[in-house]
């Protein structure tokens, strides 16, 4: 029973600071990547909408 209670105590231990810092950096990278992806999608959408207007007549 003593080993089981020690295992339960170790399992309930809080996460170290290093893991939470890693999550923070990963979140920042994900956020910046999402902003870049969104900018590319908006630029592509605007170019598709304006394609016929800027293309000219033949």
Give 10-residue mean pLDDT values along the chain (58 residues): 60 60 75 96 94 71
Q: Hey, what's the torsion of the CAs at 18, 19, 22, 23, to 10 degrees? A: -140
Residue 27 falls within a domain, yes or no?
A: yes
Residue 9 falls within a domain, yes or no?
A: no
Residue 3 falls within a domain, yes or no?
A: no
Helices and strands in the chain: count of H runs, count of E runs? 2, 0
Tokens in use for 26?
A: 């990963």
Residue 4 falls within a domain, yes or no?
A: no
Rg (the chain; Cα; Å): 26
Give the count of domains, the chain. Answer: 1
Domain that holds residue 21: 15-55
- Reduced to 3 states, what is the DSSP secondary structure of residue 40? helix
Residue 22 falls within a domain, yes or no?
A: yes
What pLDDT shows up at residue 41?
98
Query: What is this structure's pTM?
Result: 0.51
């Amino acid at each position: 029973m003593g080993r089981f209670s020690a295992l339960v105590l170790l399992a309930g231990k809080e996460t170290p600071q290093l893991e939470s810092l890693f999550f923070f950096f990963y979140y920042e990278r994900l956020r910046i990547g999402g902003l870049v992806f969104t900018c590319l999608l908006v630029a592509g959408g605007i170019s598709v909408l304006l394609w016929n207007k800027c293309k000219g007549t033949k």
